[in-house]
Structure 1
Amino acid sequence: MKSDYDLQGIFRDAITGNYRNLVFIEGDYREPLLHFINEYLKVEKNPSVGYYFHPWIQGSKERLGWVKSLLTSVTDIDYSSSERFLGSTFDLSIIDAVDDFRPSYVARAIETVRGGGLIIIYTNNLEEGKLYKSTLARDGKVNNLFEERLRRKLLSHRGILYWREGKLVVRPYSSSEVSKPKRTRGGKYPRLAKLCRTDDQVKVLDEIDFLLEDGKKLLVVTAPRGRGKSASVGLALPLLISQSRYPLSITVTSPTYWSGAEVMRFSELSLKALGKKFRRVISRDGKVLSLETGESRIRWLPPDLAKDQHGDILVVDEAAALGREFTDYILRRWDKVALVTTVHGYEGSGKIFLKMFESYTGEHDIQRLKLDFPIRYSKGDPVERFLNDTFLLNAEANEGHYMNRIVEMDVKYLFEDEKKLASVYGILVTAHYRNTPDDLMMLGDMAFQRLFVAESDVGVAQIVEEGGLSPDAIQSIAQGEENLGHLIPQRLIKYSRMFELGELRGWRVMRIAVAPSLQGRGIGSQLLREIEERAVREGVDWMGSSFLANYNVIKFWAKNGYIPLHVSTKKNESLGGYSVIVMKPFSSRAREIAHQVARLLKDKLLRTTHQVYFNMDPRILVLLLKLAPPISAVKIPDPYLKKLRAYLEGILPYNSVAEAVHLLGEKYFKELAFDLDDVSLATLVSRTYQGRSWYHAGISLGMTSSQVERKLKETVRLILEKYQLL
């Protein structure tokens, strides 16, 4: 292979400027791949290499062998476990995209490369034989809008070397256009400041003692991806132990261990730098779970265990990914909290998280720290710009005016209009903290979707066509096979055994969002009404949605006439919640099935909450129970009524009448003869059905133990009065 470009000069300039270059090879990849590696080796003699691939796919290990024949220090990484390498740094990352090109995996791999390093992505083509993209296809149909736009970005961005079909296109970048990481201040703790790359990180060290001040304290540390926020917080935690007058128990949590591993890793480095003797507790798979020094300790726990731990300080890494409900709970439960999160990145946006704290009115004093300067590479790095632009990581919602008009938008047109795409997609990025680059690929490539926009780009709904399944497809789902292209029919066929639903046609609202500044004005509901009218005209049997259980989100769907049909029996630990399916039936057959399934769900919740949903927000359970249609009448035996009256008179304690309260609640939720407020019912659900202590019921509801007990007694009295049973 010959090149008219001075590749070594390009690579040397990147080293001088501490910025990264990206090589993208598409087509006959072997010769150019080996050529670019050889040219880089003439500049960087013995680079550390991260090689990303799917090792279990045929041919992938042979390609790894080509690379290893040239390089001596290669860490081969399975895409599926790449999260555990987030804290690693490589001189060279090579991404095998022959078998898969999943945007979130690719972005994660790119982010492990240091300034002056090189990323090489190689593939035969972007469209065919890709594992993740195959999940977006239905009946052999799939769009290529994401890939076509990616190619345009590869050609337009500087710092990118794009080899395609024997032709190399280069738009060089210059070291004069970047600002290298700097550290000019020594800070209050020079020994630890030496471990920092930027002044921003030193600032975290200097301000961490805020958490030791009297009163309830909340430290919020935010940054774009790659600013070293987790590392700086990890370095700072041993300082708290050193400065405290008493032993400290610090709990660290995060969506997964690996998303919070940097906090633990840098806490260990800090203990060493401070000369502290400590003991490590390590799991069998190499996870550092605890660091113990004297009577103090820093330990990692999963979110569900961490939130109710007894300790002094709780640190939550990637807090936005755990959601508003989790954050509200820990701020009621803990006095000293540090929340660390990414503002925008490939694992989701924290913008909605930041807006939450703009209106925060809780009891904690807040200290906010924002890190701006990247630690691995220079500010102005061309690859970071490419990622932000290509994956729309920093897209913003349109804060314009609603024109009272809903339009269906051609996705092909959307991907040809950069301004429009950024505006529409920006709504999703800003309103949903779990938005990732994969979502942009879904938007561009799914051929069985419909897109509706509230003009002027202030609301958006993404609809997926589901159902209309053949008898064979229904039977395969019933036997346990996945069919996520038809998510709602798949769940209800598999778990509720409602085979007939698979025959009906439905529209699933995959995502619906309104610009945050315009929420609460009915735009989302109007979007739904317009889509529902279109669905009915086109003969669709039902509309529905699947989402993580959230009190306000369920209230939105309930307000618009949707009823719950399914709740997952296992909490998604990394996302922090249970998934819920809601539906609005249009046809008589869909209505009959939906009401039958909803009643079964109500019965299931009443019977199994104590063992399956014991850690769900009790207000969510109340909503789910109230939204399902009535089941049947329930008779309260006379001895139970006498016990309940004795409880209200203070003669018997709660534990002596728990079974009677349980049956009274069952009567209320099964009959739904009158409406009671959610908070009152939540005390009943939390204490009686979930089996929580008065204390933990209070934490979940923002009350004291005595307030919960009084409210529960009031609720029992009110139900008995309404039924004229006192």
Structure 2
Amino acid sequence: MVILSGSEPWAMSLLHSIDGIKAALSTDTKQELLASSSLAQCLIYGDSSVFPANVQRKRYRDKLGSESDFIIFADSDFTIDAFAGLSGTLKAGGILFLVIPSKNDKFENSLFFKRFYSLISEMSSHTVIGESQASSLPLCSDLDSQLKVLATSTYPHGCVTQEQYNAVVAIKKVLSGQRKRPLVLTADRGRGKSSALAIACAQLMTAHKHDEFNIVITAPDAQALSVFYRQLKQSLISAEQQGNTITFGKVKLTFMAVDQLIRTPIKVSLLLVDEAAAIPVYLLEKLLRSYHRMVFSSTVHGYEGAGRGFTLKFQKVLEKLCPQWASLHINQPIRWREDDPLEQLVFDACLLNAELPTLKTTLAPQSLINDKSSSVKKTDTLNTTDEPVFKVLSAKELVADEASLKQVFAVLVTAHYQTKPSDLQLLLDNPQVQLTCLYSSKKNDAEILAVALLMNEGKGNGVSDADVRAIKNSERRLRSHFLPQSLFSHCGFEQAFNYKYLRIMRIAVHPQIQQQGIGAQFIQHIELLAIDQNVDFIGASFGVNPELLSFWLSAGFSTARIGFTKDKASGEHSALLIKGLGVKSKQKQQSFKRNFYQSFDYLLLEEYKALTTELVFFLLRQSSQGDLSTLSALDIANVQAFSRGERLYSSCCYSLYLWLKQDLLSETKSHSTEVLQQSLVLVARLIQKHDSDSVCQQFGLTGKKMLNKHIKGYVHLRLNTEIN
């Protein structure tokens, strides 16, 4: 990397000395710039008028996996996610030019950028050139020869390294070997992992050209597969592509979203899951249960990966479901040489290589917080042999202690599938953010058990009346006020910005001690902190599923809203949960909950029609008995008559619907797996209004007659349970 510290016209004059860049910078209009094929290897990113960008600000992810010789990064906001992502496109011999002003308050006041700059100063491979220092780029004289150091193919099928060839062989073996022996292929970026998938697919498609053969590939986003598709078309020259489907003879390779594969399992010869670490483990488990020949590919460190946390959590699932699973790791880079200085800088600056430490702490049952002034519910939980310590750490403390910073970020990355480099920037530079940690003890060598990123929002955090008016008129959105803004815009809470909020942006427990009560304990500490800071509400937003929802509801939160669109990676809708801490805010919490359930049934027919039946069941179990319609004598008679076979389903389905909603809240309801499965059928048919064919397919029933018999049997069982 070369940093050009000075005015943009001066930087422009220096870059004009490089032939490969000169054409890009000399183009008269942005449209010509974007269309010019000669600029394919020069990426320009940022908001500079001097350096017209050929990478759209919000579409830089489209370039992940592509290759470039030069990058010019001239962005006044220094968008670190784009910097980290685009840096991986550079080939061996390439240069990233970072253009920054010599004097810039934004950079000088940024702890993130100061740390970034100090890391550069420790690495002699990178160069900083100031406007007063030079009028030329002496290091670029032999650049053309440097750009020719890329590795060439010396292995079968166009593979570039022995490790890549081994990966291709291992992928093909998944198809020829025994079922239920999935392969987990891991590598850092630039190692040819996606190309290995494509080469193996090309080999299989060629071998089965005359057969009915179906390969499906899934990923968090179809755009993440650009390298895969490009390599596949190179390996299969006569293949035809329509959208995300490639046909070769009778063979088809198709992209399908994860939630679609789970919702409607299909017959496939081979299923590939690329960037698996960016997909929640519980969804990967559902794929494992539905498909028998699978390859999971993932970036271990880096922009697209989730590090060791993915390995730890997914390994447990694999051991349980597929004990004969295989793993393969690609070490050797293909796009650049080993120990590449730019890769190392990006890893260090963005903590993409922060390794999760193994905990030595032992756990023992112990009572929790003891504070009479707290409204927090006291429960028994698991704790360390020493009393855990809850701390709020400042950004300055973290920057001064690199080891702690790495530990904090490593724990955060393991538990969240979409942690980005900008989260580190947010942590160090946003004054509204607080970092809290739960340590194993008060000792100096105490280990970090859990980490939470908290955002102070609403009243007292820089929101003006003009901002509120602009939000009301849909003229702007505030980046660091998610809770009040959502309650204001979506829940009709006109006074939302008159209250103080503490949003739990990220919360993560070390994987070794998850499912042992530490998360619940941590939430209680955070609540005490919020009370101490005179906060009115604490809240959180996350991709909703029954397991996560159960955790938050058990901590006293309630659902205020579920979003109408699904997350691309998980296929989940996002949920907004809130908890009031004062008398007035607790009343508002109940109001939000009541309003949510009043419209929930109606929205199930359209906006929420993709919610899983398990989630709908769980949500309905949290509604309030007082908000339900009272069963009339006629409704009760209808339900009883149906259970005796005296009434048709269609003639009393509304009475059955009203009765089922009451029954779901019944304290006598058994929680056995069998009864739960039976009630899900009724939820899908009566409340979600799925047609009988869909319900039969979902629950393995042979037809409408069997479905009605199932509903009748369940109603009869529940009525007898109530009587007994």
| TM-score category, normalised to shorter length | 0.7 to 0.9
Distance 2:540 2:250 in 1: 49
Alignment partner, residue 487 of structure 1? 482
Alignment partner, residue 107 of structure 1? 84
Structure 1 residue 547 displacement after superposition: 1.3
Judge conservation of contact 1:211–1:219 (CA < 8 Å) in 2. no
- Relative contact order, higher structure (CA 8 A, sep 6+): 1
Judge conservation of contact 1:94–1:121 (CA < 8 Å) in 2. yes
- Identity value in percent: 23
Structure 1 residue 91 displacement after superposition: 1.6
Judge conservation of contact 1:82–1:109 (CA < 8 Å) in 2. yes
Alignment partner, residue 27 of structure 2? none
Distance 1:268 1:309 in 2: 27
Alignment partner, residue 377 of structure 1? 336
Mean Cα deviation higher: 255-264 or 708-717:
708-717
Judge conservation of contact 2:265–2:290 (CA < 8 Å) in 1. no
1:116 to 82, 93, 108: 93
1:268 to 210, 221, 233: 233
Distance 1:353 1:37 in 2: 45
Structure 1 residue 574 displacement after superposition: 4.1
Alignment partner, residue 165 of structure 2? 202
Alignment partner, residue 10 of structure 2? 31
Alignment partner, residue 390 of structure 1? 349
Structure 1 residue 427 displacement after superposition: 0.8
Mean Cα deviation higher: 346-355 or 104-113:
346-355
Distance 2:185 2:710 in 1: 37
Structure 1 residue 323 displacement after superposition: 1.7
Judge conservation of contact 1:126–1:147 (CA < 8 Å) in 2. no
Partner SS state of residue 434, structure 1? coil
Q: CA 1:721–1:344 in structure 2 vs 1: closer, same or farther (change >3 Å)?
A: farther
Structure 1 residue 349 displacement after superposition: 1.2
Distance 1:651 1:331 in 2: 44
Q: What one-letter code is carried by the residue in structure 2 that aligns with 1:447?
A: P
Distance 1:233 1:462 in 2: 36
User: Within the alignment, does 1:153 sit opposite 2:109 as a pair?
Assistant: no
2:454 to 442, 445, 463: 463
Distance 1:317 1:250 in 2: 13
Mean Cα deviation higher: 599-608 or 676-685:
676-685
TM-score (norm 2): 0.81
Alignment partner, residue 414 of structure 1? 398
Partner SS state of residue 408, structure 1? strand
Q: What one-letter code is carried by the residue in structure 2 that aligns with 1:608?
A: L
Distance 2:177 2:645 in 1: 43
Alignment partner, residue 298 of structure 1? 253
Q: What one-letter code is carried by the residue in structure 2 that aligns with 1:421?
A: L
2:291 to 334, 340, 343: 334
Structure 1 residue 504 displacement after superposition: 1.4
Alignment partner, residue 226 of structure 1? 190
Partner SS state of residue 171, structure 2? helix
CA-to-aligned-CA distance 1:561-611 (integer Å, 9 cap, x gap): 111111101112245321111112111111111111111212222222232
Q: What one-letter code is carried by the residue in structure 2 that aligns with 1:146?
A: F
Q: What one-letter code is carried by the residue in structure 2 that aligns with 1:374?
A: P
Distance 2:44 2:430 in 1: 26
User: Within the alignment, does 1:144 sit opposite 2:103 as a pair?
Assistant: no
Q: What one-letter code is carried by the residue in structure 2 that aligns with 1:433?
A: Y
Structure 1 residue 615 displacement after superposition: 2.2
Alignment partner, residue 266 of structure 2? 310
Judge conservation of contact 1:92–1:113 (CA < 8 Å) in 2. yes
Q: CA 1:552–1:392 in structure 2 vs 1: closer, same or farther (change >3 Å)?
A: same
User: Within the alignment, does 1:664 sit opposite 2:652 as a pair?
Assistant: no
Partner SS state of residue 373, structure 1? coil
Mean Cα deviation higher: 385-394 or 244-253:
244-253
Residue correspondence of structure 1 range 239-250 to structure 2 within 5 A: 239-244=203-208, 246-250=211-215
Judge conservation of contact 2:259–2:570 (CA < 8 Å) in 1. no
Partner SS state of residue 302, structure 2? coil
Alignment partner, residue 373 of structure 2? none
CA-to-aligned-CA distance 1:643-666 (integer Å, 9 cap, x gap): 645665678787776544433233
Judge conservation of contact 1:27–1:123 (CA < 8 Å) in 2. yes
Mean Cα deviation higher: 245-254 or 496-505:
245-254
Judge conservation of contact 1:352–1:430 (CA < 8 Å) in 2. yes
Q: What one-letter code is carried by the residue in structure 2 that aligns with 1:372?
A: N
Q: What one-letter code is carried by the residue in structure 1 that aligns with 2:286?
A: Y
Judge conservation of contact 2:455–2:502 (CA < 8 Å) in 1. yes
2:498 to 495, 503, 516: 503
Runs of 5+ consecutive residues of structure 1 not aligned to the other structure = 1-21, 65-74, 131-141, 173-179, 282-287
Q: CA 1:331–1:650 in structure 2 vs 1: closer, same or farther (change >3 Å)?
A: farther
Distance 2:566 2:587 in 1: 29
User: Within the alignment, does 1:626 sit opposite 2:621 as a pair?
Assistant: yes
Residue correspondence of structure 1 range 63-102 to structure 2 within 5 A: 63-64=51-52, 76-97=54-75, 99-102=76-79
2:45 to 50, 53, 57: 53
Distance 1:651 1:295 in 2: 54
Partner SS state of residue 566, structure 2? coil
Judge conservation of contact 1:398–1:515 (CA < 8 Å) in 2. no
Partner SS state of residue 63, structure 1? coil
Judge conservation of contact 2:190–2:334 (CA < 8 Å) in 1. yes
User: Within the alignment, does 1:280 sit opposite 2:215 as a pair?
Assistant: no
Paired positions, count: 651
Alignment partner, residue 144 of structure 2? none
Runs of 5+ consecutive residues of structure 2 not aligned to the other structure = 25-37, 140-148, 362-383, 440-446
Judge conservation of contact 2:261–2:287 (CA < 8 Å) in 1. no
Q: CA 1:448–1:165 in structure 2 vs 1: closer, same or farther (change >3 Å)?
A: farther
Residue correspondence of structure 1 range 424-463 to structure 2 within 5 A: 424-455=408-439, 456-463=447-454
Judge conservation of contact 1:694–1:705 (CA < 8 Å) in 2. no
Partner SS state of residue 458, structure 1? strand
Judge conservation of contact 1:182–1:199 (CA < 8 Å) in 2. no
Structure 1 residue 114 displacement after superposition: 0.5
Judge conservation of contact 1:348–1:435 (CA < 8 Å) in 2. no
Judge conservation of contact 1:127–1:144 (CA < 8 Å) in 2. no
Q: CA 1:441–1:570 in structure 2 vs 1: closer, same or farther (change >3 Å)?
A: same
CA-to-aligned-CA distance 1:538-569 (integer Å, 9 cap, x gap): 32112111111133222221221111111101
2:529 to 534, 553, 563: 534
Judge conservation of contact 1:333–1:699 (CA < 8 Å) in 2. no
Distance 2:56 2:712 in 1: 56
Q: CA 1:355–1:706 in structure 2 vs 1: closer, same or farther (change >3 Å)?
A: farther
Judge conservation of contact 1:341–1:350 (CA < 8 Å) in 2. no
Q: What one-letter code is carried by the residue in structure 2 that aligns with 1:228?
A: G
Structure 1 residue 694 displacement after superposition: 7.7
Distance 2:656 2:458 in 1: 42
Q: What one-letter code is carried by the residue in structure 2 that aligns with 1:593?
A: K
Alignment partner, residue 146 of structure 2? none
1:238 to 186, 202, 206: 202
User: Within the alignment, does 1:321 sit opposite 2:278 as a pair?
Assistant: yes
Alignment partner, residue 720 of structure 1? 719
Structure 1 residue 117 displacement after superposition: 1.4
Alignment partner, residue 16 of structure 1? none
Q: CA 1:439–1:712 in structure 2 vs 1: closer, same or farther (change >3 Å)?
A: farther
Q: CA RMSD in A?
A: 3.6
Q: CA 1:722–1:477 in structure 2 vs 1: closer, same or farther (change >3 Å)?
A: farther
Alignment partner, residue 513 of structure 2? 518
Distance 2:661 2:556 in 1: 24
Partner SS state of residue 80, structure 1? coil
Partner SS state of residue 217, structure 2? strand
Alignment partner, residue 378 of structure 2? none
Judge conservation of contact 1:51–1:94 (CA < 8 Å) in 2. yes
Distance 1:24 1:675 in 2: 66
Judge conservation of contact 1:87–1:262 (CA < 8 Å) in 2. yes
Judge conservation of contact 2:594–2:627 (CA < 8 Å) in 1. no
Structure 1 residue 242 displacement after superposition: 3.4
Q: CA 1:466–1:100 in structure 2 vs 1: closer, same or farther (change >3 Å)?
A: closer
